[in-house]
Amino acid sequence: MSQQQSSFHIATHQIGSGRDRVVFFHGLMGRGKNFTTAAKGLAESHTSLMVDLPNHGESDWTERFDYVEQAELVAAELSRNFASEGPVNLVGHSMGGKLAMTLAVRHPELISRLVIVDMGPSKGQAPDRSKGTDFTHLLGSLKALDLAQVSSRGEAYEILAEPIPSRVVRGFLLQNLVRGDDGFTWQPNLDLLLESLPVIGGEPEYGDGSFGGPMLWMGGAKSDYVREEDAPLMKRLFPQMNKVMIKGAGHWVHSEQPEIFLEVLQYFLANTEAA
């Protein structure tokens, strides 16, 4: 383990007291608590680790965005703590899905079951502003906000109404606006994330590895992120891949269809024959 890995702080908190263990990776501009509803639903059977990924929430920042580097940082954290006694289940959404895929193929010994939510393994689709997934526009709108003139989160919410009409997307993004001693600031590494969007939306360096355990590829039926042309690469990386599409859900499957998401997740994690 490198000195950087041992000193890099990754913020986590746990929910539940079940015997089995599951780790949640959020998407771009998210944080661990985004999966609180699912973790509470699993609380009797699972102990969930909610992770703030690097450059997000209360975790440390990196100097560049690199999926392999971040996978190694998170793998080191899991090896020291949550996965120190054996492999754990891993659920990753969107950007967190690509990070989860990278970690699983590089450190399959840490993972027992893998769930990738609404994200493919290769370069993503062109962003669709009408679906709230154009992060160049979204993050650019946040950066353009003059925080020195913002007196409350509610005021920021109203100012962003024109560039970001979706109330849900605005609320999701504004969870990252925090008040400090000198006024409001963005908690994530906004500048790095904005300039790194081509890398974030690109294909990580998976190498020649693979993850041979049970794997679920879950997508929203109204989303464009799970594409049939990505199936061969997914099958190479994850030979035991199963795919399921959730009706009535777009990109944020776990928040748009929380009950169905939890039901599918519970079944997959509990089904010893799911492969």
Residues labelled catalytic? 94, 191, 251
Q: In what order do the strands lie in the sheet with 20-25?
A: 12-15, 46-51, 20-25, 88-93, 111-117, 215-220, 241-246
Per the CB < 8 A criterion, the answer to whether 61 and 192 are in contact is yes
Provide the sign of the torsion angle of the four alpha carbons 69, 125, 133, 100, taken in this order: negative
Helices (H), the chain: 3-7, 36-41, 67-80, 95-106, 135-144, 153-159, 167-174, 190-195, 197-200, 231-237, 253-256, 258-270
Secondary structure of residue 46 in the 3-state scheme:
strand
